[in-house]
Amino acid sequence: MSLTFRDFQMLNRLRCEEGFGHPVAVDEPSWPLQNWALAIAGEAGELCNLIKKTLRGDFTIEEKRGEILAELADVMTYCDLATSAMEADTGETVMAKFDVVSKRIGWVKP
């Protein structure tokens, strides 16, 4: 199933608040923005650990493809929640930054 950024952001926030019982707001005292940042870093660390093990020869990327994709999804999920906590739209935020970088390198959208 494929989702738009908007659909994903809505479901992700709803699951966090209803499923995990965890408010998504930057002024939430039990879960401030630094916690979202640490969660993103934690998931990125899990991803990097898998990649480290491929470099070490424990397994190939193809053998761990599913797990690697799952860690990438975990990173994206927390990035989206952090964006929600800042009351911003994930799709707009990603495209705004995409456009900034595109302009910087002189690339024009087709």
- Residue 39 to residue 49: CA distance in whole angstroms: 15
Residue number, 8 or 91, with CB nearest to Mg ion: 8
**Taking CB positions, which residue lies at the least distance from Mg ion?**
74
Smaller CB separation from Mg ion, 43 or 80: 43
Q: Shortest approach of Mg ion to residue 48 CB, angstroms?
A: 11
Confirm if 90 and 84 have CB atoms less than 8 A apart: yes
Nearer Cβ to Mg ion (24/47)? 47
Sites of contact with Mg ion (CB under 5 A): 43, 46, 71, 74
Closest approach of Mg ion to the CB of residue 43, in Å: 5
**For residues 42 and 103, which CB has a smaller minimum distance to Mg ion in the complex?**
42
CB of 96 to Mg ion, least distance (A): 27
Question: Mind giving me the DSSP string for 25-66?
Answer: -TT-TTS-HHHHHHHHHHHHHHHHHHHHHHHHTSS-TTTTHH
- What gap in Å lies between CA 89 and CA 91, rounded to an integer? 6
